[in-house]
């Protein structure tokens, strides 16, 4: 049997500790699958002397010098589960340039500057794997970059953040408002103490950039992704969605445009309850992929957590280990298409607009006139209530998002519109 595959682990938190446990518990199976034993030669942490309970690891392996660990000559593979941009970028670029393969779950770094990592991997002839960066244990990125590599993907639509999906699912099931549902998510451990990255859509936007880059052979960065969170979604919005036979989900949507470019966006949207994504509840993730030859595919499962994410890391480790023993490397980055990423204003969408209006003659005609001036076609109109409780709900046909935004902006200026109660996009 060949010599061992020597691994340096950067980070030993929720994910890193599960990686250590799985390396220990599945040692024999990993040896059989790779063709050589896996040897953990060092673990970089912030505090080397911290009590880590019954973690099956020699305390002598802990170090606070991550860069020194990465530079060691006896390291074959670097696994990074620390997160953040720096110093993780410095560590991984150093590893890749020196020929060490890298496995990372760092979605923020991949979305902001994945190009630097891919360039360093090409320079050093090393593998870069990152299945754990999107949707936890769900096997998603490898199918996009390998199994579907011979097909032409047209759209990727997904629920890729468990926290927001739990919140929206709770609002749909109980009628609760956003704040109440967030409190429940926090109490159950689904939301961080500071949930900003989740509820404002930053986490999903980073994942959308990674998915779009793989699906469309184009470098897409987080800054290219249009982003809206769910903090403005109200119980009334959820009730309106139900009345339309819809539910509200925070979606990442990456698709080809008519002119050959791509659009990438993250925002809450109403979707029909008949769509497969509508039934994805609680903290689960799902990604719906559409390709010209393969048709429609859906990937579903737990999208976060220490054990599911560690499972994805070890899957990458088996692939990397096999490559190193065979003296080969995985296929390099595929960014040949270099498609134009269009801004949100050029994307065609549909709107659901709820207006709190004065109940008087001519209101409906005036509102319709505003839509007509911006060349936005109305699909349905529903008016309910009287007097101070008059509500006008409009659903539009597809139109450029910039035209819809301009329409809503003008509606806000009308004296008989007391408030634009909500604006949501409608998908499918």
Token representation of residue 319: 């692939």
Identify the pLDDT of residue 418.
92
Among candidates 298, 338, 336, 333, which has minimal Cα distance to 145?
Answer: 333
Structure tokens at 369: 């006139």
Block means of pLDDT (10 residues each) for the chain, 428 residues, are 88 95 97 97 90 87 97 97 96 98 97 96 97 93 93 97 96 96 94 95 98 97 97 94 95 96 97 96 95 96 89 96 94 93 96 92 93 97 78 94 96 94 93
DSSP-assigned letter for residue 389: G
Could you tell me the CA-to-CA distances from 408 to 253, 413, 424 in Å, in that order? Answer: 22, 9, 11
How far is CA 292 from each of CA 210, 339, 363, rounded to the nearest angstrom? Answer: 21, 18, 45
| All residues at 6 or more sequence positions from 213 whose CB lies less than 8 Å from its CB, including other chains | 114, 219, 220, 335
State how far the alpha carbon of 190 is from the alpha carbons of 22, 163, 167, 193, 312, in Å.
Answer: 23, 5, 9, 10, 20
Q: Which residues pair with 15 in a beta bridge?
A: none
Active-site pick, 100, 107, 207, 249: 207
Predicted pLDDT at 142:
93
Distance in angstroms (rounded) separating the CA atoms of residues 101 and 329: 9
What is the C-alpha to C-alpha distance for residues 125 and 115, in angstroms, rounded to an integer? 15
Looking at residue 387, its pLDDT comes to 65
Both tokens assigned to 122:
């090409």
Report CA torsion sign: 153, 287, 136, 113: positive
Q: Which two tokens stand for residue 38?
A: 């896996």
Q: What pLDDT does 383 receive?
A: 85
3-state secondary structure of 351: strand
- Interatomic CA distance for residues 45 and 12, integer angstroms: 6
The sheet carrying 128-129 orders its strands as 62-63, 38-44, 5-10, 77-80, 101-104, 128-129
Q: Report the first-to-last Cα separation within the chain, whole angstroms.
A: 54
Specify whether 207 is catalytic.
yes
pLDDT at 126: 97
pLDDT value at position 215? 97
Q: Is the peptide bond before 87 cis (omega within 30 degrees of 0)?
A: yes
């Amino acid at each position: 049997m060949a010599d061992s595959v020597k691994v340096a682990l950067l980070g030993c938190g929720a994910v890193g500790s599960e990686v250590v446990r799985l390396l220990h518990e599945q040692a024999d199976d990993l040896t059989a699958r790779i063709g050589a034993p896996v040897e953990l030669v060092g673990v970089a942490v912030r505090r080397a002397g911290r009590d880590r309970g019954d973690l099956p690891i020699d305390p002598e392996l802990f170090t606070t010098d991550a860069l020194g660990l990465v530079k060691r000559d006896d390291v074959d593979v670097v696994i990074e589960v620390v997160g953040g941009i720096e110093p993780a970028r410095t560590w991984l670029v150093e590893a890749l340039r020196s020929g060490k393969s890298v496995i990372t779950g760092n979605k923020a770094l991949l979305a902001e500057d994945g190009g630097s990592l891919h360039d360093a991997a090409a320079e050093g002839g090393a593998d870069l794997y990152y299945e754990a960066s999107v949707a936890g244990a769900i096997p998603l990125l490898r199918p996009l970059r390998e199994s579907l590599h011979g097909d032409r993907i047209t759209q990727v639509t997904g629920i890729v953040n468990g926290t927001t999906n739990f919140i929206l699912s709770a609002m749909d099931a109980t009628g609760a408002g956003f704040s109440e549902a967030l409190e429940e998510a926090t109490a159950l451990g689904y939301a961080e103490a500071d949930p900003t990255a989740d509820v404002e859509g930053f986490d999903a936007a980073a994942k959308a950039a990674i998915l779009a880059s793989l699906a469309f052979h184009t470098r897409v960065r987080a800054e290219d992704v249009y982003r809206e969170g769910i903090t403005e979604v109200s119980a009334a919005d959820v009730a309106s969605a139900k009345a339309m036979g819809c539910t509200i989900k925070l979606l990442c949507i990456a698709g080809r445009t008519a002119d050959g470019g791509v659009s990438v966006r993250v925002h809450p949207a109403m979707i029909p309850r008949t769509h497969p994504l509508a039934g994805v509840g609680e903290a689960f993730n799902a990604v719906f992929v559409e390709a010209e030859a393969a048709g429609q595919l859906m990937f579903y499962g737990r999208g976060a957590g220490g054990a599911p994410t560690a499972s994805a890391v070890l899957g990458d480790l088996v692939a990397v280990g096999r490559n190193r023993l065979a003296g080969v490397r995985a296929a390099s980055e595929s960014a040949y298409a270099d498609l134009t990423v269009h801004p949100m204003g050029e994307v065609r969408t549909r709107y659901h607009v709820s207006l709190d209006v004065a109940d008087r003659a001519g209101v409906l005609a005036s509102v319709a006139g505003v839509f007509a001036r911006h060349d936005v076609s109305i699909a349905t109109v529903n008016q309910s209530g009287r007097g101070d409780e008059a509500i006008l709900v409009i659903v539009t046909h597809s139109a450029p998002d910039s035209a819809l935004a301009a329409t809503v902006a003008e509606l806000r200026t009308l004296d008989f519109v007391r408030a634009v109660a909500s604006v949501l996009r409608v998908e499918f």
